[in-house]
Amino acid sequence: MLLKYGNHAQRAQHLPGIARGEVRWCQGYSEPNAGSDLANLQLKAERDGDEFVLNGQKIWTSHAHLSDWIYCLARTDPNAPKKQMGISVILADLDTPGITVRRIDLISGYSPFCETFFDNVRVPVANLVGKENEGWTIAKAILGHERSSIGRSIARQPGSAQREVVARARKHLGVVEGAIPDPLLRDEVAALGMREEAFHLTLARIQQGAESGTPGPEGSITKIVGTELKQKRFELGMKVAGVQGLGWEGPGFDDDDLEYTRDWLRSRASTIEGGSSEIQKNIVSKRVLGLPEGGK
């Protein structure tokens, strides 16, 4: 985002620390009433001289408690004729007075999420990225990167999902060598392998198209298929483990079993984060296939 839309001072200030991994950032997009309908966001940013004054709340801010900076979408013109207008991208140092970060506990036992509150937070106007009120285009471009990178990060090595399930079958079903005896399970494992292979080929094609710049709406395909594959991998991994897959704590389960249960639960979130699968399907329908609203 900074390379494409930031000015020279912003790049000089932020990129070296990002590249060296010294400065952590989180994403301030979602709000209690702005998730899928992101353009409904209400975090207010009012100009006061050389500063913006931010008031409002973000939610599901991953790792905000560990981050140094946040990039936010804020409403700079509440009277804009369309809700996608009047939004700006503003960077804020999380140590700025008035920012409060509160953690949210999840079913998996991890707590990577936060609510982030802004109470009269003053940030310099110099922290505005791109033009005031024209942040929606930048917001969408970042989402394109996020969606395709979620898909890519899930892909791992070709064949790895299938190998993982086979390894768990060997461990939990006592299959020492040769094929998994249950033909139905074997079918499912083979189907997973084939979908995985097809996904890798599609991914390679999309990546070639995106090498020149920002990923297009095709990134939504990567996200849908990649996250569904991930969930299928964990479902099969759980299936072969049977009761052993349900361990939460205690001596009856080894570390690998316990971690797998938590990762399986975490995988439920993958089809939601970065925009839910339903929203990705709407994007594919409109912007990749060119279908009119409603898909007719």
Ligand X SMILES: Cc1cc2nc3c(=O)[nH]c(=O)nc-3n(C[C@H](O)[C@H](O)[C@H](O)COP(=O)(O)OP(=O)(O)OC[C@H]3O[C@@H](n4cnc5c(N)ncnc54)[C@H](O)[C@@H]3O)c2cc1C
Site string for ligand X, 129-168 (x = CB under 6 A): ----------------------------------------
Burial of 178 per CB tally in 10 Å (0-12, 13-18, 19+): exposed
Residues facing 87 on adjacent strands:
75, 134
Site string for ligand X, 52-71 (x = CB under 6 A): --------xxx---------
By CB under 6 A, name the one of 99, 232, 275, 284 that touches ligand X: 275
Phi, psi of 114 (to 5 degrees): -140, 160
Instruction: Specify whether the CB–CB gap between 109 and 241 falls below 8 A.
Output: no
By CB under 6 A, name the one of 68, 197, 259, 278 that touches ligand X: 278
Of 202 and 276, nearer to ligand X (C-beta) is 276
Smallest distance from ligand X to CB 103, Å: 13
Smallest distance from ligand X to CB 2, Å: 17
By CB under 6 A, name the one of 161, 236, 282, 284 that touches ligand X: 282
Smallest distance from ligand X to CB 56, Å: 13
Residue owning tokens 């984060």: 273
Rounded CA separation 223/149 (Å): 8
Rounded CA separation 84/34 (Å): 12
By CB under 6 A, tell whether 88 contacts ligand X. Answer: no
Residues facing 31 on adjacent strands:
34
Q: Residues 15 to 34: which contact ligand X by CB under 6 A?
A: 26-30
Element (H, E) at 43: none
Provide Rg for the chain, Cα atoms: 22
Smallest distance from ligand X to CB 269, Å: 4
Q: Is 146 a catalytic residue?
A: yes
